[in-house]
A and B are shown apart, each in its own frame.
Chain A
Amino acid sequence: MTKQMNEKELITIEHIEQIIPGDTDYNFYFGPAHSGSGNFGVKLRIDGEKVTSARADPGYLHRGFEKLMEYRIPMQNAVLSDRVCVLEALNWNLVHAEAVDELTGVEIPQRARYIRVLMAEMSRLQSHLIWYGVMSLALGFDTGFKMAFGYRDYILDIFELITGGRVYPAGYICPGGVRRDLPDGSEDKIKRVLDQTEEMMQKMKDFDNIVFSRRTKGVGTLRTEDAIRLGATGPVLRACGVETDVRKDDPYEIYDELDFDIPVREEGDAYARCLIRGREMEESIKIIKQVLDRIPQGNIREPAKITPPSRVKIPEGEVYVRNELARGEGCAYMRSVGGGEPYRVKLRGPDFLHMIPVLEHLLKGSQIADIPAIYWSLNICPADMDR
């Protein structure tokens, strides 16, 4: 405090600068235990309102799944794979189940394949609804948040009916097929929920211009070559004008028999990412409808009974499977030496790259007020990054 201030004088920027001379540079911690960031932190260096450097600080949710899986048989790992990403449990179930299936080489019954795709797409829908919810919350639009979570609950009701749990399906998509058959009447219930979701999407469109476009247009722009270099995948990459989707490029399950489009936009900003997700939900609904029309009868798991742990053997080999999750590319590398447990499992989640290089890149040079918009436009979830 260099100068005594007259009480009647208004406090101006000069006064503040006199108190803290020239110091507009400070550290700012976003997370890790912050309701706006998930269990994840970013250390920011801020100059005034501008972010000058950003460094992601992961590890708050590290549970060591890759190591844990080396000590469990595939059926138990399927249960574990739920937890890789809370919001996309069924998709991770599918990644894990596919890796094991490719190693064992069992023929998955057709009905199980259809149910798998059905559940994976429903999971994508609810994941996008959560994203819409938290994105609205981040932009200060509480109504959107409440509505999205409300409509998501209708989808969770379906999960509850089919898998027996709302959020965690407990390895519903398991090696060899799925754990339970669809209960009677579930097709009609799913159709009803799809209608409800469409209703929600109509509302999303109506709200679009008011909040979303004004806060997200031109914010956090990612150029195509940067996106590829930084390892972005999924909707983030598609919003930068790269037409790629694992379901089309590297089809798994029955995706090559289904008819759906890949939405692509050129802008690469947060708004484009939002629009892509909206379009993706439409495509998911399209896929679910096709699956419901074509789903064949038959058994749902091969072998039908769970093998007791002492008799489980995974044939020797190594595989790498890729899946399209709601957030991007999810992969698993699995190596077996012929024992009951896999010898090595590597899980590669989309957010590992979205949350560290991509986020750091986008935050650098942005304004403080844009941080939530950028952060949530990537739709990130620390769970599959930390694993």
Chain B
Amino acid sequence: MSMVKTIEVLFETLFSKPMTVKFPYEAIEIPEDYRGEHELDIDKCVSCGLCAEICPNRAVEMVELPEEYKEKYPKTYPRLDLRKCCFCGLCQDICPRKCLKLTKNVFLATPDPSAVIKNPMPKGPQ
């Protein structure tokens, strides 16, 4: 009896859609609120340092920017070390200006060790 059932299930499975998808051609959609790579909107940051204070892994450090940015951004800003980060999102939750956010980018593996240090400088040419 149970054998018949098993064979039945086997046949069903044979002709049904697989549970997996063909990555990278298809992917399961990542929800908006996913805790992935960080994104800092430096113009909104007020340098309160709360993100560095709450981080359980001390992955956030408040640093001064290099000379060429000093004029525009004179205070200290969070620099992130993604290798230390556990992606808990506490820094995002505590940020009073909501300028530090976790995005849904999960493709963080890299052969370049310096790529995991996220400097606070705004992207693109100055």
Decide if A and B touch, CB cutoff 8 A: yes
Complex Cα distance, B28 from A209, in Å, reads 35
Pick from A120-128, A158-166, A247-255 the stretch touching chain B: A158-166
Q: Determine how close the nearest CB of chain B comes to the CB of A84; give it in whole angstroms.
A: 14
Closest-by-CB residue of A relative to B31 is A161
Pick from A75-83, A282-290, A341-349, A375-383 the stretch touching chain B: A75-83
Q: Would you call A116 an interface residue if the criterion is a C-beta within 8 Å of the partner chain's C-beta atoms?
A: no
Report yes or no: A206 in contact with B54, Cβ–Cβ below 8 A: no
Closest-by-CB residue of B relative to A312 is B54
- Chain A residues, CB < 8 A from B2: 206-210
Q: Would you call A337 an interface residue if the criterion is a C-beta within 8 Å of the partner chain's C-beta atoms?
A: no
Do A308 and B53 contact each other (CB < 8 Å), given the known contacts A183-B31, A206-B5? yes
Count B-side interface residues using an 8 Å CB cutoff: 26
Q: Would you call A19 an interface residue if the criterion is a C-beta within 8 Å of the partner chain's C-beta atoms?
A: no
Report yes or no: B9 in contact with A76, Cβ–Cβ below 8 A: no
- Chain B residues, CB < 8 A from A207: 2, 5-6, 9
- Chain A residues, CB < 8 A from B121: none
Do A170 and B35 contact each other (CB < 8 Å), given the known contacts A160-B30, A210-B2, A210-B6? yes
Q: Would you call A339 an interface residue if the criterion is a C-beta within 8 Å of the partner chain's C-beta atoms?
A: no
Chain A contact surface mostly: helix
Contact with B along A152-172 (1 / 0, CB 8 A): 010001001100110010110
Complex Cα distance, B102 from A160, in Å, reads 14
Q: Would you call A296 an interface residue if the criterion is a C-beta within 8 Å of the partner chain's C-beta atoms?
A: no
Do A206 and B6 contact each other (CB < 8 Å), given the known contacts A79-B86, A150-B19, A306-B94? yes
Q: Would you call B120 an interface residue if the criterion is a C-beta within 8 Å of the partner chain's C-beta atoms?
A: no
**Residue in B19, B35, B56 with the greatest tally of chain A CB atoms within 10 Å:** B56
Q: Would you call A35 an interface residue if the criterion is a C-beta within 8 Å of the partner chain's C-beta atoms?
A: no
Complex Cα distance, B2 from A153, in Å, reads 27
Q: Determine how close the nearest CB of chain B comes to the CB of A308; give it in whole angstroms.
A: 5
Complex Cα distance, B34 from A310, in Å, reads 28
Complex Cα distance, B5 from A203, in Å, reads 9
Report yes or no: A171 in contact with B88, Cβ–Cβ below 8 A: yes
- Chain B residues, CB < 8 A from A79: 56, 86, 88, 90
- Chain B residues, CB < 8 A from A150: 19-20
Number of chain A interface residues as a range:
20 to 34
Q: Would you call A335 an interface residue if the criterion is a C-beta within 8 Å of the partner chain's C-beta atoms?
A: no
Complex Cα distance, B20 from A203, in Å, reads 19
Contact with A along B1-28 (1 / 0, CB 8 A): 0110110010000000001100000001
Q: Would you call A309 an interface residue if the criterion is a C-beta within 8 Å of the partner chain's C-beta atoms?
A: yes
Q: Which of A12-44 contact B (CB under 8 A)?
A: none
- Chain B residues, CB < 8 A from A171: 88, 90
Q: Determine how close the nearest CB of chain B comes to the CB of A158; give it in whole angstroms.
A: 10
Contact with B along A231-263 (1 / 0, CB 8 A): 000000000000000000000000000000000
- Would you give 25 A-B contacts (Cβ < 8 Å), ordered by A? A76-B54, A76-B56, A76-B90, A79-B90, A160-B30, A160-B31, A164-B31, A164-B34, A164-B89, A165-B34, A165-B87, A170-B35, A170-B86, A170-B87, A170-B89, A171-B90, A179-B93, A183-B31, A183-B32, A206-B2, A206-B5, A207-B6, A209-B2, A210-B6, A309-B53
